[in-house]
Chains A and B, each alone.
Chain A
Amino acid sequence: MSSENLLDVKNLKTSFFTHVGEVKAIRGVDFHLKKGEAIGIVGESGSGKSVTSLSVMRLLLNPGKIIDGQILFNGEDLATKSDKEMQNIRGNEISMIFQDPMTSLNPVYTIGDQIMEAIIKHQKVSKEEARKKAVEMLKIVGIPSPEKRIKQYPHEFSGGMRQRAMIAMALSCEPQLLIADEPTTALDVTIQAQILELMKDLKDRLNTSIILITHDLGVVVDVCSRIIVMYGGLIMEEGSSEEIFYNPKHPYTLGLLKSIPKITEKSDKQRLIPIDGTPPDLLKPPKGCPFAPRCDYAMKICIEQSPEYTQMSPTHRSMCHLLHPDAPSVPEINGNIDKEGQA
């Protein structure tokens, strides 16, 4: 199983050592990613989703540190690599695009220069060849008149075009993995649609694996085949998009789905059902389940012990005490699970 995986994250733990104490941002995260697959990591602020991607890329700034776990990329552990070794991997094998295209592009260099920088560094080709490749990349991401655009500066591009340029830069060395951290959050909805179509198209064409990090459940359904739901530094639930949307087995996932309005719903003004309370402060992470304070089904065991994962199908697992055979019956969560924990 693991030899097929492009990325295998095992028991990853990352903390930030601040002046008020250790903030345990990620507290034991496992997931894997196959070649050509697109997975989504969904969560709110403080869930640890962005920190996960930064840990994989080893881009954590002081005072953040990976304190445990392995990040196996093609079998090699990225967590132990030196900064120099990581520089060869970033932009080359693993690329990342960020939320705000305004600030992730350097305003004093042309778009062409910025794309060529990665190509020249990693592929050791001449400047002329790098320029040709850069033009080709701009064409692939759908920027019109690429020959002209390549000499322009970021401020001459619109928001959507800048994000395309970022994607061009990220994919210029044909990485095996693309990490996209909230790539469309800052964009208008029609531009977002364009960018998501582009990402899907490129994934199919170049067979790039994608980790898409977002808080928008609609976006993740569009692009990804598998979804990971994070909360309080841990993975609450993981499954295929159908499993997560039609058969959620975690109160948090269920809560999220109930609290978002559906544009397709008939409006007899169905009330949204919010999740009370706020995400936990990871300075003093709870010893039990992080979602317990906000969970409608919370039991005493939930604040005492952290739950184990229950595997409902080869792709679907959830971390909830309600899935334990001894737990009281709650139709929404464990309705169709028998005593052995099989779905």
Chain B
Amino acid sequence: MINKDAEVLIEVKNLKKYFPVHKGFFKRTTQNVQAVDDISFAIRSGETLGLVGESGCGKSTTGRTIIRLYEPTSGEIIYKGTEIGRLSQKELKPYRKKIQMIFQDPYASLNSRMTVGDIIGEPLDIHELASGKERLEKIHQLLHDVGLNPDHATRYPHEFSGGQRQRIGIARALAVEPDFIICDEPISALDVSIQAQVVNMLEDLQRERNITYLFIAHDLSMVKHISDRIGVMYLGKMVELGPADDLYNSPQHPYTQALLSAVPVPDPNISKNSKRIILSGDVPSPMNPPSGCRFRTRCQYAMDICKEQEPEFVEIAPGRMCACHLHKK
């Protein structure tokens, strides 16, 4: 739900994350993988921003850099007006109660040697939020909130299904009562009929607790369903950003157009009549991206200027950002 007057909760300015490639005997840095290359966006309180793109586009890296699992190479991360991108890990600790993350793999994101109760209770222990009886009550409450039986707190993760484990992960994130949760492909590893359960729960939690989401995924239909606004990334750059419906109904960037036309629609009549834009070739290497516009090597509208000059990410209509020479203001 977009409340246009809501404050900006989290803002990212000119964020870059490069991974150095070491070669040679002395492990000198010869090249950089430009995973995230100068992106900027803002998310309002209570909003869900979807981030889509294909493998190698940098969407997961963006999420992980915001939560400081990776250190940003340059740029700013601003939470409620405070710059948190450069804080030390110690100074960052209180912010860990405000910003949390849900992971993709329900089998790997829970420590199989810990009971479910301990997994959910860990954030309470780290931040000393509760102990003893109170801690146990909180854990039971959290299990209940995510639709699981509180009696199961003594069981181990391997006794639960994928969807249930994902809910345990969500309970863990909720334990510190965060404002902002980064969802890194939270449903990709789940069965289709279970995905809806988890998505509905995320929506309910957002409504009840006014949580803001950054929803990173590659399932375009699901992202459209849950997001208010969506950002499209390609090879480390953000190429388009706008309200979900607008973006899907009239995509402006050629990559967005191709991406949306490639989604298989579960409807025989629509599928038969839809015209697919088939992109040629493969995604270029992020170590050596094309000059100018990175998408030019696969774009059907590529012009000379696309080779020489990188298009700016500008507002082409109210609330709509796009980086393409076709849309000069």
Contact = CB atoms under 8 A, between A and B. Distances in A.
Verify whether A and B have any Cβ pair under 8 Å: yes
Interface in A53-76: none
A197 B276 contact: yes
A219 B263 CA distance: 9
A267 B2 CA distance: 14
B200 A218 contact: no
B271 interface: yes
Nearest to A219: B264
Contacts of B218: 188-189
Interface string B215-245: 0001011101100000000000000000011
A256 B259 contact: no
Give the size category of B's interface with A.
35 or more
Contact of A257 (B200, B266, B271): B266
A190 B258 contact: yes
A44 B54 contact: no
Given A160-B282, A263-B220, A245 B266 contact: yes
Nearest to B188: A185
Interface in B179-207: 191-197, 199-200, 203
A256 B192 contact: yes
A42 B55 CA distance: 25
A215 B191 contact: yes
Give the size category of A's interface with B.
35 or more
B262 A263 contact: no
A127 to B, nearest CB: 30
Contacts of A274: 193-197, 200
Interface in A19-71: 44-45
A288 interface: no
A19 B326 CA distance: 63
A271 B203 CA distance: 9
Nearest to A196: B264
Given A193-B262, A274-B196, A276-B197, A262 B276 contact: no
A221 B265 contact: yes
A278 B278 contact: no
B282 A263 contact: no
Contacts of A269: 225
B123 to A, nearest CB: 26
Contacts of A194: 278-279
Nearest to B197: A274
A158 interface: yes
Contact of B271 (A222, A260, A278): A222
Contact of A221 (B192, B220, B271): B271
27 contacts: A44-B194, A189-B220, A189-B259, A190-B278, A193-B261, A197-B278, A215-B191, A215-B192, A218-B221, A218-B271, A222-B264, A245-B267, A246-B268, A255-B193, A256-B193, A259-B193, A259-B195, A260-B266, A263-B220, A263-B221, A263-B265, A267-B244, A269-B225, A272-B199, A275-B194, A275-B197, A278-B194
Nearest 7 interchain pairs by C-beta: A218-B264, A274-B196, A261-B225, A188-B54, A193-B262, A217-B266, A259-B196
Given A215-B192, A219-B264, A278-B163, 6 more contacts: A44-B193, A188-B54, A193-B264, A221-B265, A275-B193, A275-B197
